[in-house]
Amino acid sequence: MGVVNVTPDSFSDGGVHLGAEAAVAAAVRMVDEGAAIVDVGGESTRPGSDGVSLDEELRRVVPVLERIAGELPVSIDTVKSEVARRALGLGAVMVNDVTAFRADPELAGVAADHDAYVCLMHMQGEPRTMQVDPRYGDVVAEVAAFLEERLRFAVAQGVREDRICLDPGIGFGKTVAHNVEILRRLDVLLALGRPVLIGLSRKSSLGKLAGDPAATTGPLSASIAAAVAAYERGVTILRVHDVREHVEALAVARALA
Ligand code: HH2
C-alpha cells in the first residue's frame, strides 16, 4: 500500500503532494512501482495534530480522487463518513479508518453499502495527545481485544468479514517498547483470523531503534528492515511511502522464504 498524503503537515512527507497534480503523479508512480493499493489521505494523524474540517479535507482529496479513483486501486484514509461516501462514489475500493469506526460510526454503513474493503486500526487516545504517556498492562492483548471488538462491530453494521483487515496502529498511542512488543508477538493478532496491515514506514520508533533517541522519523533502511521482518511474521499489507524500495526488498525476502 503506497501512501499519498494530500496534506501540508504529515509527519514525513507533509506538503510534498499537496497539489492535486503532484498527488496524482505520485499515485500513478507508486502503482507503476508495484503498489497494489494507494492510500489517499487529506488529514494528518501525526502525534500532536488537531484534525481538519470536512470542507478542507474534501477540498484536498476530491480533485485527486476524481482523477485516479476509477483508474487505480484507491483506499481513502479518513475518519469521516462523508469523505468516505464521496471517495467510494468516485470509485475508491477501500476505507482506512485509524479510529476503526469510533470517530464516526456511520462510516461502517457507508463502507457496507459500497461493499468496500476496510482497514480497522488500533489507537490509544487521540492524535493530539496520544504520545504523551501511553500505558498498557499487556499491549498485545489489549490491541487484539480492541481489534476483535471493532471487527464484530463492523460485521454487525453490515461490512462483510472477508473485506476487513486489522492494523495494530504502530505509533498511535505507543512507545517504542510497545511497538516492538507488537511486532514480536504478531501471531496474537494473526490469530484473529483476518489479514494484518501494518504501517512502519518512516516512523520515529524506527529512527530511535536505529540509534537516534530524538528521531522524529525513521530512515528508509530501518523501514525496509522492519517491513521484511513484519512480512516474515505474516503481515499481508505494508503501508509504505517508498514503494519501489519495499517492493524490491519484499521480492527478495519472498524468494528466500
Ligand atoms: N499511519 C499513518 C496514517 N495512517 N493508517 C493505517 N492503517 N496504519 C498506519 O500505521 C497509519 C495510517 C501515519 O503515517 P502518514 O500517513 O505518513 O502520516 P500522517 O498521519 O502525518 O499524514
The confidence score (pLDDT) of residue 11 equals: 82
The confidence score (pLDDT) of residue 129 equals: 86
Q: What's the mean pLDDT in 220-249?
A: 98
Mean pLDDT, the chain, whole residue set: 96
7 ligand 1 Cβ < 6 A? yes
pLDDT band at 64 (very low <50, low <70, confident <90, very high): very high
In this predicted structure, the answer to whether residue 122 has a pLDDT above a threshold of 90 is yes
Ligand 1 nearest-atom number relative to CA 203:
14
- The secondary structure of residue 5, as a DSSP letter, is E
The three three-digit cell numbers of residue 58, written as one number: 474534501
Q: Which of 114-118, 126-130, 188-192 has the lowest mean pLDDT?
A: 126-130
The three three-digit cell numbers of residue 98, written as one number: 485509524
CA-to-CA distance for 82 and 101, rounded, in angstroms? Answer: 13
Burial class (CB in 10 A: 0-12, 13-18, 19+), 151: buried
Ligand 1 mean position, distance from CA 39 (Å): 9
Which residues carry out catalysis?
203, 239
pLDDT band at 247 (very low <50, low <70, confident <90, very high): very high
Mutate to test the pocket of ligand 1, among 10, 45, 97 (most ligand atoms within 8 A of CB): 45
Nearest CA to ligand 1 atom 10: 199
The confidence score (pLDDT) of residue 130 equals: 87
Ligand 1 mean position, distance from CA 45 (Å): 6
CA-to-CA distance for 148 and 32, rounded, in angstroms? Answer: 35
In this predicted structure, the answer to whether residue 18 has a pLDDT above a threshold of 80 is no
pLDDT band at 179 (very low <50, low <70, confident <90, very high): very high
The answer to whether 128 touches 50, Cβ cutoff 8 Å, is: yes
pTM across the whole model: 0.96
Q: Can you say how many angstroms the Cα of residue 189 is from the centroid of all Cα atoms in its chain?
A: 16
Nearest CA to ligand 1 atom 15: 10
The 10 Å CB-count burial string (b at 16+, else e) for 228-238 is bebbebebebb
